[in-house]
Every structure is written in structure tokens, then in C-alpha cells.
A and B are shown apart, each in its own frame.
Chain A
Amino acid sequence: MEEPLWSADAAGAVYRSRDPVRNLRLRVRIQRLTSAGPLLQQAPLPPPAGPRGPELLSLAARAAPGARRPPDEEEEAVVAWQEKLFSQFEVDLYQNESACQTPLDRQYHEEILKLEKAGGRKNYRIFTYTDHDRFTNLEEHCQKVTDSVHEVPSYLAERMATVRRRRQDRRPVEGSSLKSKVITWEPSEEFIKNNHVINTPVQTMYIMGDLGPYGKLGHREYEHVLCTIKVDSNGVITVKPDFTGTKGAYRIELDGEKRELWKYTIENASVQVQQEEEEREQRVFRDLYSRHKEYLSGLVGSEFEMPLPGTLRLFVNGEVVSAQGYEYDNLYIHFFLELPKCWSSPAFQQLSGVTQTCATKKVGWDNVAYFCYLFTLEMFFTQEDESEDSLPQWPVLYFEVLSLDFWQRYRVEGYGSLVLPASPGLHTLTIPTWRPVELGTVSELRRFFIGGSPELEDLTYIRIPTSFKGERLSRLGFRTKTTGSVTFRLHCLQQSKAFLETSALRQRMQSVLDRLGGFSQQSSVYNVLEAFQRARRRMQEARKSLPQDLISTSASTVHQKQDL
């Protein structure tokens, strides 16, 4: 039965850890599967025979009696971070003093001699290349990504390889950068090399396997990368390929005549944090967060002004943004707010306003004047009569657009009105306007030369005049001319205790139900509560109608019983 094996080119995984990276341990197991036959049954193997015997391990539970495997078919090693395990090739190479060129080589030479004296190395096929080795640099530099034969590493790759070797202090994320050093006017080559690529220092480690045939270890062409681990100073650990976990082993197929097949697994063998330690850590974090929360809420405080119960407070941050499309220049807007009945406003509230005079400029097809006039409106709505059928009337903003020119001629440019929106939120409204005209050319000429034009006496005529008390509004006979439009931006907020009660009730119900669980119970619990309340009320009413002596005798009998 063959288990599915994954290709070793599977993508890596990224992990984050705040623990020091020296606690990282990986367990790598490697095993040969020959291509000729099916998976050979494994048997528990005898302990290592000679001084150079590899550390062997019995892998699977299936044990076939009598079947024996050659000793180098499988191996397991637990590797620590940047732990150097030598390959056969390196042992052969560094044993000779003459082959050592750099101080690193000489250091390896010493270590190998020590190992020889101690009885040989423990690993056989699995070995590692650490960050300091030449292999790391070469590998990073020449890693091919496409299958093109002529692939050359891009200059970015070369740059990154150069930077990796530098150990720089990482600049703090929000450092107080001096003003004088914000811009580097003439960046040097070094600066360019470092800054145009990612310069967070990264340490790499390769776990390799020497997959040569039995007895022929130490040839470089049989070295394969089993796993690449990169750790950077942010605590980001990249493991490529990822830990095998439950998904099954990785396979490597060798080129060559025999096309041998090897499988290997990688596991995280770091010491797991103890349960108590983990809990202690969690508790520390929780304390820290709750203290932070208390500090923040201490800064913020807990008061907030509330309107009286039964009132709705309408708070509008308004802005007269612009006026566009008018005939004359130097426009200003005069507006006022009309509050219907049941509405009131605080004493300090100004219900009218006048903007500045603004000369227009051409934007696109229109002449636009920008006012940026901010105003705040605060109103209270009190529902006096609850049984009224009509819905509340909302306040109306009436405005007129006027122009005042150099010769102090003053003209009405337009009238318009705006009902405050009933829903909270951001409302950008563009209101078209009209102005009254008299038929005939004389009044238009007068308007042009002298200024002045028919005006409305009562601005509420724009909508429904306050003096109007009929059913049918007729404006027949009134002539107007369409002029430009005015844009208002209103941010409406509504505040009332009523919103609070419904939401609090909902929240209370929800918290009970969260403990109970399930939405189907919501209606049943509610029904039960309702029924209980009803029954209680009925009982109380019934009790009222009962004769008094009945109630008192029952109470006194209880009393007597207690005395006894």
C-alpha cells in the first residue's frame, strides 16, 4: 500500500514566534524507498554496531519478521538552530590542514579532529549548512525560479544576496527622525544597495541530505536540500517546505540510472511550553490588556450628556458648500431654520446665518462659489400627545441666494428650501432654486441696470406659508425663473433614550440567550415570561376582588403554625 508522497517543491510556510530562536529544534527523518519494488516492510533494527554506525530508528509499526534493511537506508536527526552537522564531503575536505583557507575552515578543521577523537560523527546522511557557509550565499545567489536554461539571477537577487550578509540594526518603526535627515540628497552606492531592497537581517540554515548510494557518501552531486529555514529579526520563521504534520512525507527522486526514491519528514521538535507557563503568560497578557483598558477608560471618563427621557435630540453639523450656476457674481446665502410645533431649540442656538460674499470661478461649465460655511443645529422633539395620528413634521431650512456687486447693487438670485433629513447619516443635497419675475422687459432691465428685483415678503412661501390654512395650495399666477443650485452637506445625528432602551433590552435578552443557546428558544422563553407576567397580573387583580377576611385568616393560620 503506497502512501501519497508530496513533492519537495511544495511551498513553505511562515510562522511567527517571540521566543528566542535558539530554542528551535527540528526532527528530520529520511528513508530510502527503492524504485524497483513496493515499500519494504521495516523491522526493528539492532543497535549500532561499530563506532561509525549511524543512529538508526525503527520507523513503522508494521514489523515483518526476518526482513532486514541495510543500515544507511534511513536516518533521523534532531537539529538545533545553526547547529553544524558535517557531511562526509566536508569531513574529508577539512581533515587536511592545507585545504583550510578562511578562519571558518580552520574552525571546522578543529571541530572535525575533535569529533574523530570522540568517536566519529553521529549523523551520517543528514547534515546542515549554516548561515556562515559558502553554500548559503551561492544557493541564494543562483537559485533558479524558471526552467529556462539561460536564467541569470536578476540584479535584485544579487542585491538581496549582498544585503543579507550585512548585519544591520533595524531602525525602530516610529523613530523620531531628525528633520535634517529626512531626505538624503546624494545617496551613496552603499545607501542605494541597502535601501532599495529589504534590509531586515535574515539568518538562513539548510538541512541537507546526502543521498548517494550505499558506501559512496561524500559526493557533492548527491547532496539535496531537505529543508530551508530562514529567521529574521522580527521573529518571522520561514520553513520551506513546511512541516509534514499530518499530510505525509516528501519525496525526492534522484536522477541517474537507478532513479532512486527517497522520502523524508520534518517535524517541529522544539520543547513545547509547559501548560502552567503558558497559562501564566496568558494571565500576564490579560492583566496587561485590562490595565491598558482601565487606563484608557480613565482618560475618557464615563459621563455623557443625555437628553430628557421622551425627547429626541436632532444634532446637525451642516455646511453650506457651494453655489453654482448663477447669473451674477459675488454671491452670499442667507438661511434660517423654521421649527414646527413640538420642536424646540436651546437658548444659545442661532437659527439663522449669513455666509460671506464669494466671487465665482469657472469649474467645468458652471460658475461656482465656495462658501465652506459650517453651522451646527441642535433641536429637541417632544411628543406631547401620544395618541396623535399624524407623524411629526421635520424642521425646514429656508435660504435665499443674493448677489452684491461692486456698485453695491443687490439682487435676489434664488430662493430654496430644504427639509432636514429624517434619517441619521451623511446627506449631500443639491437644491435647485428659482426667483420671482415680473412679466415684461421693464423689470428685467431695472434688475440689470439698477439692481433690485421682486422679493418674497414671507420666506416661508417657498414651501407652505405659515399663514396658509387650507387644503389646497395654489400658486397659480406666480411666475418664477429657474436659476442655479446650492449644495449643502449635512451630518445628522439623533440621540434619544428610546434608542437606548430598545437596544439595552435586546442586549439583555441576548445575553440570557447566549447562555441558553439557540434562537428557537428565544421565542419560547419570551412566551413563557409573557405568560408568567400575565398570570401574575391576573392573580393580583383577582386577589384585589377577594374579601379581606379570607386573606387575613390564611395569614394568621400561617402565623399560628409558626408559633407552635
Chain B
Amino acid sequence: MAELHVIGQIVGASGFDESSLFCKWDIHAGSAWKLLAGRREGQTQVDDPQADDVAYWCHPIDVHFATKGLQGWPRLHLQVWHRDAFGRSALAGYGFCAVPARAGWHGVACGTWRPRGGPRQRLARRLLGGGPQLRRPGPALGAAERFRLRTEAAGTVHLQLAVLPRHFARYGVQS
């Protein structure tokens, strides 16, 4: 079997309308992949930036996978939420990105989107906060179902991931 280490951090997010953001993340992989070490999911701290509109989390990611095949390459699911002064959480955006395949250090900028409601919901969101969320985010929202959604673009989440594959060359895989 081959192994893959993903070591890096979720640095922060930029371009969101709201401040006081935090991110819930998890890593999904196919059935051929087994998680050997590290946490597969987590939630960052809430950052309220002093100066500009960039929220910094620096949340470490350190996972170790073993795999029997290439299908189901790990991917990261990100949900950016906004926590307001009253302690309520509202969705700011969903983002999905694939873990890079090539060995090395990668700076990944993952754009996010959020479901877009009708005009009344949009007005309510602007004034009161909150908004529609996906009923089942994550793997249930596969590629086949996306066309049902209406979304709008939100900010960008920045990640730094270093990928360390092991023994892939033994099985003739070049990345």
C-alpha cells in the first residue's frame, strides 16, 4: 500500500463580508483510503481581525492516510461560519478542494459559495443575518446533485498544505 501525509494549516480567509469567522473542516476520502493518524475534522478558533478584513486561523492539519488505490483521493470540505456578538452562528460559505497530488508545498486558495435564497431571504440576511444552509453538506452533495443548487460567490479560504507521498513510485504512479 502507499501512504500519503498531508501536513499544513488552514491559514485564514479573505473577502468575506462578515468578520468574526471560524471554519469547520473535514477531510473525506474514498473507501480505498484508511486514516492512520491525525484528526480528520476540526473547527478553528474565531478570529476578529483588528486591522483588515482578513481572518487568520493558522489551524494545523496533520493526517496520515494509507491507500490501496487512487480512487477517492482525499478532499477537504470547508464551511466558513460567522459568529456574531450574541453568540449565534451563521453560514458564510462552503468550499471544497482536493488535496494536491504532487509532493511538495502548495498554497491553495479555495473559493467559497453559499446558497442563495430568494430576494426576501437576501434582504433578511443583510439586515438580520442568517440564511439558507445545505441540508446535508459534505459527501451527500456529490457531483451529480450540484445542478439543483443556486448559489452566490463568497470569499476565499487560504490553505498551505505540504504533501508527502510514500511508496507511490513503487506502484508505478508518477505525480
Contacts and interface: CB of A to CB of B under 8 A. Distances in A.
A and B touch in the complex (CB under 8 A): yes
B124 interface: no
A350 interface: yes
A347 interface: no
B90 interface: no
B71 to A, nearest CB: 7
Contacts of B174: 424, 493-495, 499
Interface residues of B, number: 49
A424 B153 CA distance: 30
Contacts of B143: 350, 353, 373-375
A319 B70 CA distance: 16
Given A372-B112, A426-B102, A359 B151 contact: yes
Given A372-B113, A373-B143, A499-B174, A304 B2 contact: yes
Given A300-B66, A370-B154, A317 B73 contact: yes
Given A317-B98, A495-B70, A372 B150 contact: no
Contact of A491 (B69, B102, B112, B144): B102
Interface string A263-286: 000000000000000000000000
Contact of B68 (A301, A319, A332, A356): A301
B1 A356 contact: no
Contacts, number: 158
Nearest to A329: B152
| Residue from the set B75, B98, B152 with the largest chain A CB neighbour count within 10 Å | B98
Interface stretch (B51-59, B81-89, B164-172): B164-172
B166 to A, nearest CB: 9
Nearest to A353: B143
A299 B111 contact: no
A357 interface: yes
B116 interface: yes
B149 interface: yes
Interface stretch (A186-194, A247-255, A360-368): A360-368
Nearest to A494: B174
B12 interface: no
A225 interface: no
A353 B150 CA distance: 16
Contacts of B110: 372
B134 to A, nearest CB: 11
Given A370-B113, A372-B97, A358 B152 contact: yes
A361 B97 CA distance: 20
A424 B175 contact: yes
Given A322-B111, A358-B151, A358-B152, A300 B3 contact: yes
Q: 5 tightest CB-CB pairs across the interface, nearest first?
A: A370-B111, A359-B152, A356-B149, A491-B101, A500-B172
Interface of A: 296, 299-307, 313, 315, 317-319, 321-322, 330, 332, 350, 353-361, 363, 368-376, 378, 424-426, 489, 491-500, 503
